Every structure is written in C-alpha cells, then in structure tokens.
Amino acid sequence: MLSLKTRKDRCKKCKKERALRLCPLTDKGLCWKCCNAIRVNMKCPESCPYAGKIDSNDTFPTFRSDNNSEYKQINQSYIDIWINKPIADWEGLSPAQLREKDKAALLKELSKYQYPGNFPVAYLMSRLNLDTEQIEAPKSPDDVVSLYLDEIIAFDFDKLNSHTMNRLEHDEIQSRYAKIMKKNPYFKKLKQYSFIHSGLAEDASQAIVFVELNLNQEYTFILRNDDNIWNIRQGIVGNPSLYFKQNETYAIIANHLSENKLEDAYYEISEGLRSYPDSADLYYYRALYWGLVNEKEKAKQDLLNSIALENSFASPYMNLGLLYLIDKDYDKALLWFNELSKMEPDNLDAQNNLAIAHLAKENKDEAMKIWRDLNDKHPAYQPAKQNLELYG
C-alpha cells in the first residue's frame, strides 16, 4: 500500500477525510478510518502492509497503525466482530455465548491469550460485560492532543494550560496563556480534527502528533513525557518537518539582533510566529527587539508572554526582573528574581539580583543574608564578595 501522507487528496470513499494510503483492493486513496472499515474483516492481501497479521499462537491480530487513535479504533472494531465469532476450541461457542453460559470459564480462556501492546483490554471486558478491576491506562500523546483540541472546540481556553508542561502558579501567567491561544486564527473556528500520524522519539521522551484541523489545515503538536505523563510543549502550523527547522529561524533572528539589524529581526520574528504561534523563544526575541527600540512596556508584555508559553524558560525571568528593577518596581522585580532562583538554584546571578532588589526595597538584612550565603558557598563569585564589601 502506497503512503499518501504528503498529499492532501480526500478519501475516495468518505470524500471528507484526508487520503493517507492507496488501497490495493479498491485501487483508491483512503483515509485510515475507511481503511479500518475494510481491513477489519482480515481479507486484505498479505502484500498490503496495513493488512492484519495474526500468529497461530495469538487470538488477536496486529494491525499496523499510523497513530494511536487508528490503533484503538481498529482493535475495538475487531473486538466487536470477535465477541460474536464461534471459537472451535470452545465447542463452537462465541465469546458472548460462553459469557452467558460460564463466566468463569470465559475469564480463564481470556487469561491464556497474548494481547498486542496497548491492546484495549478494558474495552474487551466491557463488551463482554465482565466485571474486572479497572486500571486507568496512562493517556497517550493522541489522547492529550484530543483533550486539548476538545477544550478549544468547547471554547474552554482557560483549561488548555492543564494539558501543557506549565506548572507556575501565577494567575496572570495562566490567564495570559489562554489569551494567546484565543488569538490563534486556526483555533477560533475549530469544529473538528483528524489524526494523520503520531510517533515517539527513540528514548520515548518526546512525541510528535500530526493532525488536520477542520479538514484543511495541517497542525503539529510536540509533547514531552514527564514521569509517564504526556504534556503539550508546542504547537506548529504545518507538518512535522517545521519542527526541525525552527532552530535555524532562531539562529537567524539572534544574528540579526546581535548585528543591530532590527528591521530584519522583526520581520523574521513576525514570519516565524506564523508557523510557531506559541513559541516562547519568538516572544522572547521580540521582547529583546522592543528593548532595543526603547519600547520597554512592550518588552515586558512579551517577556510575560514568553513565560506564559513556557514556564521553564529561564531567560525571560531574568530580563523581566531587570526591567522592573530599572523601573523601581521592586515588588515585581523580587517576584521574578525569586521565581528564577527557585527554578534554577545554581543561577548565582539570579540570587545576586534578588539580593539587589531586596536592598532597593530597603530589606538590607535579607540582601546581606543572600550575599553571605553566596560568598560562603561560592567564594569565587565576585559580585557577592563586592556587594558585601560595598554594603556590609
């Protein structure tokens, strides 16, 4: 079966979903949903890579799938057929019939079988009305993206942050994330979505989920695995290849800023945001641009945006604290230097700036305490030593 993932033709059967593969039975391009409807009967030619494969020692076939949603659907569809299928070793009874006759016997038989990885065992038990202890399976990357997109369709933007890597407990930052997402033109009128492909990095620490929004717009989500919990890290307007190109964009922008080519930098930032609308890096670079053109308030807003999009990105915390320190807004300077110090305990400059903010707010005892601690633990760190001599 020929892959059609790089094309945008519609499925020749349903006429709506994206055609992803050429079916050897129909000689037509099909979406994975229509392909599943055909291959579930196990009559596809063996030459087709998407045909179900079954080993004589196994009960259930394995089906090649390009995303977790496809895998779940094809296996559930097969279960729907299998439960009513006569089994020769069970005196010709189907699983549903054996359930009615002898529940214990059915459970014993099912315990003998080998199931493919991630097989929907809970669905199988449910279809056979078997009361077993339900253990909630960890959500897959596809599941998380589904939850995220469902929140958007329901216009519950305030819930989106819970599906991301962000954990900073700060009301303004959390609401700011929702506001940024609301401005995404591809989310404003989202009605439906379809999965095209998903895959894991070799070390299973990262996943890419490729979808189509409203049957016409490619969109890619990048997720990270944290203690076996998947969280969305970034969204990209386009296909997964753009993920591997963004560092080149960042390098160009950084070079323009370093050479004071400000118009070129602003152009590249604006163009970059078309493909990477929730890139914390791009908002950070735009904040640097605003600083270079003496637009401090705009710089502050984009530093806050950068933090809202990626709470663990340290650079905007430092810059934001410095801007507030310059403006003599010492409470906010303390807030962001303190957050940075908690996030990066080994960041000596963050602790030094925190002490400076305390001193500016006339909390000299606290400032001296921080500098003494820095000097005791890091005697080679000169700013702490110099500040102790100057203010001690």
Give the 3-state secondary structure of the chain: CCECCCCCCECCCCCCCECCEEECCCCEEECHHHHHHHHCCCCCCCCCCCCCECCCCCCCCECCCCCHHHHHHHHHHHHHHHCCCCCHHHCCCCHHHHHHHCHHHHHHHHCCCCCCCCCCHHHHHHHCCCCCCCCCCCCCHHHHHHHHHHHHHCCCHHHHHHHECCCCCCHHHHHHHHHHHHCCHHHHCCCCEEEEEEEECCCCCEEEEEEEECCCEEEEEEEEEECCEEEEEEEEECCHHHHHHHHHHHHHHHHHHHCCCHHHHHHHHHHHHHHCCCCHHHHHHHHHHHHHCCCHHHHHHHHHHHHHHCCCCCHHHHHHHHHHHHCCCHHHHHHHHHHHHHHCCCCHHHHHHHHHHHHHCCCHHHHHHHHHHHHHHCCCCHHHHHHHHHHC
pLDDT band at 57 (very low <50, low <70, confident <90, very high): low
Identity of residue 101: K
pLDDT band at 55 (very low <50, low <70, confident <90, very high): confident
Q: Is the dihedral of CA 310, 313, 315, 320 positive or negative?
A: positive
How many Å separate Cα 10 from the centre of its chain? 27
Q: Is the dihedral of CA 211, 214, 215, 218 positive or negative?
A: negative
Q: What is the mean pLDDT of residues 93-117?
A: 89
pLDDT band at 133 (very low <50, low <70, confident <90, very high): low
Q: Is the confidence at residue 78, as pLDDT, over 50?
A: yes
Identity of residue 266: Y
Q: What pLDDT is stored for residue 2 in this prediction?
A: 41
Q: Is the confidence at residue 114, as pLDDT, over 80?
A: no
Q: Is the confidence at residue 1, as pLDDT, over 50?
A: no
Q: Is the confidence at residue 208, as pLDDT, over 50?
A: yes
Q: What pLDDT is stored for residue 7 in this prediction?
A: 63
Percent of the chain with pLDDT over 90: 85
Query: Could you give the CA distance from residue 102 to residue 130 in angstroms, rounded to a whole number?
Result: 11
Q: Is the confidence at residue 119, as pLDDT, over 90?
A: no
Write down the mean pLDDT value for the chain.
Answer: 93
Q: What pLDDT is stored for residue 123 in this prediction?
A: 92
115-146 b/e with 16+ CB inside 10 Å = b? eeeebbbeebbebbeeeeeeeeeebbbbbbbb
Q: What is the mean pLDDT of residues 316-321?
A: 98
Q: Is the confidence at residue 365, as pLDDT, over 80?
A: yes
Extract the tokens encoding 5: 């993932």
Tell me if the pTM is above 0.85. Answer: yes
Q: Is the confidence at residue 154, as pLDDT, over 90?
A: yes
Other Cβ atoms less than 10 A from the Cβ of 181: the count is 23
Query: Could you give the CA distance from residue 279 to residue 247 in angstroms, rounded to a whole number?
Result: 11
pLDDT band at 5 (very low <50, low <70, confident <90, very high): low
Identity of residue 316: P
Mean pLDDT is lowest, of 98-112, 308-322, 340-354, for 98-112
- Angle 296-309/171-182 helices, nearest 10 degrees? 90
Query: Could you give the CA distance from residue 25 to residue 68 in angstroms, rounded to a whole number?
Result: 24
Per the model's pLDDT, the better-predicted residue between 336 and 392 turns out to be 336
Q: Is the dihedral of CA 333, 338, 344, 348 positive or negative?
A: positive
Query: Could you give the CA distance from residue 223 to residue 211 in angstroms, rounded to a whole number?
Result: 13
Per the model's pLDDT, the better-predicted residue between 60 and 205 turns out to be 205
Query: Could you give the CA distance from residue 220 to residue 211 in angstroms, rounded to a whole number?
Result: 6
Domains and CATH numbers, the chain: 21-127 (no CATH), 139-162+171-310 (no CATH), 314-392 (1.25.40.10)
